[in-house]
Structure 1
Amino acid sequence: MAVTKIVFLGASSASFGISMFRDLFSSQDLAGSTLVLVGRNADRLARAMRVATLLNEKSGAGLKIECTTDWRAALDGAEFVVHATAVDRNRLWKLDWEVPRKYGIRHTLGENGGPGGLFFTLRTLPVVFDFVREMERRCPRALFINLSNPESRIVLALGQYSRIRTIGLCHGIFLARDQVAAILGLPAERVDVWGAGLNHFQCLVQIRDRETGADLYPALREKEKDFEPSVAPLTRNLFRAFGYWLGCGDGHVGEYLSFGWEAGEGGYDFEWDESSRAKTERTIDDVLSGTTEIPSWWLTPSGERAVTVIAAVLHHRKQLIESGVVYNQRVIPNLPAAAAVEVPVLADRAGIHPVSLGPLPDPIAKLMTVQINVQQLAVEAAVQASKELALQALLIDPVVNSAVAARSLLDELWEINRPYIRKCV
């Protein structure tokens, strides 16, 4: 049986770690393979190692598990590198949200689009390039599997400036499917969707009944008219205007649109996030101390696709993956070649093969191209550590409605993020 070496960057994260562990240890596909857990905080990493060891034993998955804070040495001989790191995530993200609002910018999440998307890019790409430059030396044939945001900008940057094979993975396609299924009144597993576009901004080009093959778009158009108005108002307005279901929720889609705030400006729920993480950490401590049983869901798949991709490549399965973020190169022919797009992919021993669903409807392609232009300029600003380019990226972003506000928020957030901004090439 084929075995491999997997490096998990960001393994000490309670939320990302448990999700990845669920998939690794609910599968028998990787038995005999080596899993190297990498994190910055030695204490948190040691706890993640204990959890992984416990789940490995409980499930009989048969992996060999190691851990280290030395990420460079960990990469030696790796065939798969899973990336799930973030730079001081919640503290800086809150500032990405609050500072633009202080200057009158109305936005939704501030993570993948708008000013927040820019600063996520500026501080994240230097770290990502540290990893991939070391991969180019130590494991040049490894597959880099990115789970971190800003997903499109990371994949775009690596497509332009690295020879490392890369795929980004996101569960947004399933969120979109679940929204559509709810309106149709069907179980989610009954609804089959095919999507293409941008991360968090896919166009469902087909929606079909998995059992009969029937086109469900006509039923969706009828049932949406009378569905509860408070559910996904932005996405539904786009649906009525463009004729296709776009994206995976108003908060995500709204990041890319000048009018996205109309569906709500609540931002990310940091209080819920921190409470959820604290609860997960308490559960981990209780499990490790033996005061509570391992939750049954820890040994069931999470629905993410990283382990599915790894197993397909390792065992040459020719596995269709519903959605992956890849460098375009005309997979979607009417979007720029130099773009990160999200499309179905086929994974096998030869790597990742994007599946083209043909051109997008022209108005939708034009809508998405606006955001691609923003992403391209934001990536250039990050790789060159250029404040001038960063300002230009803000001024072409549809979320930014004031040049005065753009300069003010740029000055403030640049100083906050200065310790993390540096040239990548």
Structure 2
Amino acid sequence: MARTTRIVFLGAGSKAFGLSLLRDVLSSPALRGATLCLVDTDRAALERMAELAGHLNRHMDAGLVVESTTDREQALPGARFVVNATAIERNRLWKLDFEVPRKFGIRHTLGENGGPGALFFTLRTLPLVFDIARDIARLAPDALFINCSNPESRIVLALRKYTGLKVVGLCHGLSMSRGDIARILGLAPERVSVVGAGLNHAQWLLRIRDHETGDDLYPMLRAREPKLAPADLPLTRALFRAFGYWPTCSDSHLGEYFSFGWQAGESGYDFAADERSREDLDRQISAVIDGGPIPGGWLSPSGEGLADIMEAVVQDRPRLLQSAILYNEGAIPNLPSDLAVEVPAVADAGGVRPVAVGALPDPIAKLLAMPAHVHQLAVEAAVHASRDLALQALLVDPVVNSIDAAVGLLAELWDANRPYIRPCL
């Protein structure tokens, strides 16, 4: 079956995520013989990743057919999976998303998935995503759309609510928190089993167990947590002590949703470090393409979960996914049904479906209710390109601390994003 499988990767010029996808697809025996088509509008970046893909494909004897094109309409016909990692002027506009609200007195952490910055991320991203969705509906109507771009929850919510697309979002946030728990408890990560539920970047670990013994690890975590250094995940730990469950997936991401989140730090994303890491990865890629040794980690799955979904669909063998972003529809009954939530899921030939985890503890559901409503309003503002709805989304957001700030930052960031804002329907 894999020989008839076509995987289309949009945004393949992304070095970091491009490498993750290559690792997952190339290391999966179940996908041997599949066609992997890389797509990006940046021809130079695309050619580079295609060269790397061909090199790794030969080295690993993965048996894939690797193609590349700058034209997604050429790539899509016959696709079984469409993986999205696209972004619009990612760093330039993200900097504005962070800096402009600060100029108006907004205290926030990242400006990516929560707070006013996330509204504009949504406004400029959804029109592109809906263009892609229309192409998929026309050229590959049975494809599964796997979203790996932020703002994850809002993209999944919008597509599921307004299109017939089969869609799932993937994020490694739960794995990050699982690693934090393992570090705190002094255990190997594979010994820690977790079940999380909530919003993307704000899941709560409902269960933490020892994978080998089945023992509940929460008592040990409660005993170890007070002994950690004060600077070690202070916001996460404060919420853990207040609500009794460990939240994901980092202080800066978690803090984006709450009025007090700035206490996790107000320095924003480290763009300089991001650039250095990209330059370092670029040098590694060049060395590998030139025949140098391949880093060991590049020859094994990335842990993103892409291969798990594709294998389950291609082989029609149900597989439990640790975490996926999906339309709620009762998976968490005390959050809105028309919301994208992050919960365990099951994948098979029929697609990916959420596992009903039951109600969240009531105080946690109430804490997440306002960010949930912000997600819904931001999607409506973007889908309809409505400035009025955008202002309402800002005024509902607990991160926004004044009407004047909302009006001022809306004017400036709307203008900055104007080339990309348009109705999606």
Give the TM bin, normalised by the shorter chain.
over 0.9
CA distance in 1, matches of 2:30, 2:270: 36
Contact 1:254 1:260 in 2 (8 A): yes
Task: Describe the SS at the equivalent of 1:302.
Answer: coil
Q: Which residue of 2 aligns with 1:377?
A: 377
Q: Which residue of 1 aligns with 2:220?
A: 219
Task: Describe the SS at the equivalent of 2:30.
Answer: coil
Higher mean C-alpha displacement, 331-340 vs 22-31: 22-31
Letter in 2 for 1:416: A
- Per-residue deviation, residues 269-312 of structure 1 (Å, max 9, x unmatched): 1001111111111222232233x222222212211111211111
1:262 aligns with 2:263: yes
Matches within 5 A, 1:89-238: 89-238=90-239
Task: Describe the SS at the equivalent of 2:294.
Answer: coil
Task: Describe the SS at the equivalent of 1:204.
Answer: strand
- Per-residue deviation, residues 197-233 of structure 1 (Å, max 9, x unmatched): 1100001000111111111111211211222221111
CA distance in 2, matches of 1:196, 1:322: 10
Q: Which residue of 1 aligns with 2:26?
A: 25
- Per-residue deviation, residues 240-290 of structure 1 (Å, max 9, x unmatched): 111111121100100000000112112111001111111111222232233
Flag structure 2 segments of 5+ consecutive residues without an equivalent: none
Task: Describe the SS at the equivalent of 1:21.
Answer: helix
CA distance in 1, matches of 2:328, 2:31: 30
Q: Which residue of 2 aligns with 1:273?
A: 274
Letter in 1 for 2:187: L
- 1:185 is displaced (CA, Å) by 2.1
Contact 2:124 2:417 in 1 (8 A): yes
CA distance in 1, matches of 2:128, 2:309: 24
Flag structure 1 segments of 5+ consecutive residues without an equivalent: none
Runs of 4 or more, structure 1, over 6 Å off, are none
Task: Describe the SS at the equivalent of 2:345.
Answer: strand
CA distance in 2, matches of 1:192, 1:293: 34
- Per-residue deviation, residues 106-135 of structure 1 (Å, max 9, x unmatched): 000110000111011001101100101111
Task: Describe the SS at the equivalent of 2:269.
Answer: coil
Matches within 5 A, 1:263-412: 263-290=264-291, 292-412=292-412
- Per-residue deviation, residues 312-340 of structure 1 (Å, max 9, x unmatched): 11011211110000000111111100100
Contact 2:326 2:353 in 1 (8 A): no
- Per-residue deviation, residues 396-418 of structure 1 (Å, max 9, x unmatched): 10100011011111111111100
Letter in 1 for 2:218: Y
Letter in 2 for 1:421: I
- 1:354 is displaced (CA, Å) by 1.1
Letter in 2 for 1:334: N
Task: Describe the SS at the equivalent of 2:224.
Answer: helix
- Per-residue deviation, residues 354-403 of structure 1 (Å, max 9, x unmatched): 11111110111111111110000000000011111111100110100011
Aligned length: 424
CA distance in 1, matches of 2:55, 2:312: 25
Task: Describe the SS at the equivalent of 1:155.
Answer: helix
Contact 1:28 1:62 in 2 (8 A): no
CA RMSD of aligned residues (A): 1.0
CA distance in 1, matches of 2:350, 2:239: 38
Letter in 1 for 2:135: E
Contact 2:108 2:115 in 1 (8 A): yes
CA distance in 2, matches of 1:386, 1:161: 16
Letter in 2 for 1:31: R
Q: Sequence identity of aligned pairs in percent?
A: 60
CA distance in 2, matches of 1:345, 1:327: 11
1:74 aligns with 2:75: yes
Contact 1:233 1:263 in 2 (8 A): yes
